[in-house]
Amino acid sequence: MMSSSQPDLFWTRARILRGALAVSVVLLLALIAARIDLLRALPEGWTFDPGPPLSEALLWLSREAGIGGLKLSSVTRAMGAAVSQPYELLKGVFATGFVFYPEAGGKWELPALPWAAITAVFVLVAHHFAGRRLALWTGAGFLFFAAFGIWESAMLTLTLVGVAVLFSSALGLLLGLWGCRRPAVDRALQPLYDIMQTLPLFSYLVPMILFFGFGPVASLVATVVFALPPMARITTQALRAVHPSVKEFGRMAGCSPRQQDWRVLIPAARKGLLLGVNQVIMLSVSVVVVSSLIGAGGLGGDVLRALKSMRIGEALVAGVAVTVLAILLDRISHAIAMRRPTHWERPPSWAERHALALKCGGALAGLSLLALWIPALQVFPEPWQVDAGRGVNDAVSWLSRTYYAELGAIRDAFILGLLKPVKLFLTGLPWAVVVTFVTVLGYLLKGWRLAGLGAAVFLAILLAGYWSKAMLSLYLVLVSVGFATVLGMALGVLGSFSRPLRVFLIALVDTLQTMPMFVYLIPVVMLFSVGEFPAFVAIVAYAVTPAIRYTIAALEGERPSLIDGARMSGCTGWQMLWRVRVPLGLPVLLLGVNQVIMLAFGMLVITALVGTRGLEEITLTAIAKVDAGTGLLAGLAIAGMAIVCDRYLRALTETVAYYMGVPLERGR
């Protein structure tokens, strides 16, 4: 009898026969559907679009709904005020300054902190936690913001990220603690977390406009909602991973449940929690840039305005600034998370314990006072600023003119040889064939429960009238995932043979993973204008990173005894690769494909900005029309397809890992 830890589905002879029968049924249904209109396309009268009723319901909730005398709009205004107060304070400190109007008349202005003072503080923090190299890079990055004339936009983005991280981390910590205390609550929250993380960003924005208005407050709330799940999940995992002896020590000391949580478990899980904050920071940077669509401003607003007017130079400078800011925040927060506590040989003095705070305070005070006499320290002089936008625009124009034929040939080859055939095939399949195939595949992978999930998602998309749009989105994701997987695995395999190339690839992956999704659109628009091919290139560039990383991990992490045995049997390098390393690393490779799919669905929504026509277009249009219901349903359709792909590939990975005898934890 199989143990409970084994996968639910095994490839018995009876199941293989049932699978062959199911495949035969799918093929037969395809032949029948070709002759029956009802199985090819559902009549319009059979579908019901719940988008308009849902929009009306959300509009009623935002304006009229309430309990007793308390309206929901009053609650959302209070929430918006709670978020906006720290934002307005930090915005004034870092970017815009403050303006006061005394009762006696006139106006009194208090400028923001000098750029030199803010730069010095971040350099000191980077040096304290990570050393000289990161301090130099931090100084160079902040000097880049000032020298290229985007200081205020960068500080606005930094402010938005800081406030969002504060609220996301706090709420995620509380939810994670609650889930750790009560496993039933954690199980109930997991599907909600899945939806929150797979729901497209645009779908968050329209309801936020209804409840919080157009502007940075709605952006902040959307960012908090999107960035919260990783923190909650990591908190629960980190608290559960605390050694039992630590928990027992708290009980023996007489701690109450509250004291046990806040004075024992949370300090013991500090490293894991700080890594969670690191993830929140990176997600917040991505969302804050996208939320410029609803008036968030900052660097995202600069990118969006430049893309709309096709000023590629300005878009590129702002995009590079977003990437630099994301990398610096990632490296600094990661260094803080990984720093070990300092052990003193003697009791430290108060000044030693607060050395960093004293240095930062001294730098702020000294440079702020010095800026009163040296204006260049307050605001970077305009004559010293670099106008790179015009030069980049000229370079893009030259590149387009010089290599127009070559770039067009590459675009046409991919469109005619890959994109168009896959698009015609998938969009031409009858709905009955697709639904049956998804159901059969789910059953073969893990039984009727998984099959029911797949069938329910695709039937819901069909009955809601989104089928044709969904197939366009699915085609673009599948073709991008296939190409990104092949490209990433090929690079990973090459990296396994060359240590310098492997080091370079890992550094490249680390850099690409810190770049917000918005930034990937800039180079593809520069080279290929707009359309499905630029969207394909952007998705591949964004989603290829896990394919590279997981391939390297799979080929480097195999059991030494098997590798030595294969080497002793006389295997060549390629035989070792294809007959030993790849088969043994297959579960890890499948986990990498899973991550490629999830990243591809995440990037799909952003490609609506370059003219794709699937469900992502509906979510973008919904923002302009403030049609919350339609945008939310289109986003849920994308999230549903992403969850189905994720669950199916997980089931396949578990089954393969079981038969290969490889623990899945190694690749996660």
Higher pLDDT, 584 or 233: 233
Question: Which candidate, 225, 255, 264, 212, places its Cα nearest to that of 77?
Answer: 212
Question: Is pLDDT of 398 > 70?
Answer: yes
Q: What is the pLDDT of residues 106-115, one digit of tens each?
A: 778 888 899 9
Give the model's pLDDT for residue 4: 40
Q: Give the pLDDT mean for 641-650.
A: 90
Mean pLDDT of 314-339: 83
For 197-218, write each residue's pLDDT tens digit: 777 777 777 788 888 877 788 8
- State the Cα–Cα distance between residues 445 and 658, nearest whole angstrom: 13
Question: 70-71 and 108-110 as β-strands: parallel, antiparallel, unpaired?
Answer: unpaired
Least confident of 53-67, 171-185, 361-375: 53-67
Average pLDDT over residues 426-448: 86
Distance CA 623, CA 630 (A): 10
In 3-state terms the chain splits into helix, strand, coil percentages (rounded to 5) of 80, 0, 15
pLDDT in tens, 236-273: 888 888 878 877 877 887 787 787 878 888 888 877 78
477 pLDDT band, cuts 50/70/90, is: very high
Are the C-beta atoms of residues 638 and 473 closer than 8 Å to each other?
Answer: yes
Cα–Cα distance measured from residue 240 to residue 246, given in angstroms and rounded to the nearest whole number:
11
Structure tokens belonging to residue 48: 């019901």
- For residues 404 and 425, what is the distance between their CA atoms, to the nearest angstrom? 30
Instruction: Point out the least confidently predicted range of 25-29, 134-138, 283-287, 416-420.
Output: 25-29
Residue 384: predicted pLDDT: 85
- What number of other Cβ atoms are within 10 A of residue 521's Cβ? 25
Q: 32 vs 20, 21, 430, 664, CA distance in Å?
A: 18, 16, 10, 42
- Asked whether residue 389 carries a pLDDT value surpassing 80, the answer given is no
**In sequence order, what are the residues at sequence separation of 6 or more whose Cβ sits closer than 8 angstroms to the Cβ of residue 179?**
185, 186, 189, 232, 235, 236
Q: What is the pLDDT of residue 60?
A: 83
Answer yes or no: are the C-beta atoms of 555 and 505 closer than 8 Å.
Answer: no
When pLDDT is averaged across residues 184-207 and rounded to a whole number, the result is 80
**Percent of residues, the chain, with pLDDT higher than 90:** 19
Average the pLDDT over each of 143-157, 174-188, 382-396, 564-578 and give the range with the smallest value. Answer: 564-578
Indicate if the pLDDT at residue 26 is higher than 70.
no
> Is 84-101+158-244+270-342 CATH 1.20.1440.80?
no
Instruction: Sort 42 into a burial class: Cβ within 10 Å, 0-12 / 13-18 / 19+.
Output: middle
Mean pLDDT of the chain: 82
Is residue 496 very low, low, confident or very high in pLDDT (cuts 50, 70, 90)?
Answer: confident
The ranges assigned to domains in the chain are 84-101+158-244+270-342, 113-147+349-384, 421-428+464-666
Residue 445 pLDDT more than 50? yes
Nearest 5°: phi and psi at 67? -120, 120
pLDDT of 633 strictly over 60: yes
Of 487 and 58, the one with more pLDDT: 487
Residue 230, pLDDT score: 86
| Tens digits of residue pLDDT in 78-94 | 888 888 888 888 888 89
Whether the predicted pLDDT of 10 surpasses 80: no
Beta bridge partners of residue 108, listed in sequence order? 100
Q: What is the pLDDT of residue 17?
A: 63
Surface-to-core class of residue 498, CB atoms within 10 Å of its CB (0-12 exposed, 13-18 middle, 19+ buried) = exposed
pLDDT tier, 480 (very low <50, low <70, confident <90, very high otherwise): very high
**Residue 23, pLDDT score:** 67
236 contact partners, CB below 8 Å, separation of at least 6: 176, 177, 179, 180, 186
pLDDT at residue 165 is higher than 60 = yes
The pLDDT-based confidence of 134 (bands split at 50, 70, 90) is very high
pLDDT at 1: 37
Q: Is the pLDDT of residue 391 over 80?
A: no
Q: Which residue has the higher pLDDT, 428 or 659?
A: 428
pLDDT band for 446, please (50, 70, 90 cuts).
Answer: confident
Residue 193: burial class (beta carbons within 10 Å; 0-12, 13-18, 19+): middle
Residue 567's pLDDT band, with cuts at 50, 70 and 90, is: low
- If one looks up domain 421-428+464-666 in CATH, what number appears? 1.10.3720.10
Provide the percentage of residues in the chain whose pLDDT is more than 70: 87
Residue 668 pLDDT > 90: no
Please state the rounded mean pLDDT for residues 382-408: 79
Question: What pLDDT, on a 0 to 100 scale, did the predictor assign at position 343?
Answer: 62
pLDDT at res. 111: 87
Band (99; pLDDT cuts 50, 70, 90): confident
Instruction: Please state whether the predicted TM-score (pTM) of the whole model is above 0.75.
Output: yes
CA distances from 483 to 477, 546, 591, 599 (A): 10, 13, 16, 14
Q: Is residue 119 predicted with pLDDT exceeding 90?
A: yes
**313 vs 325: CA distance, rounded Å:** 18
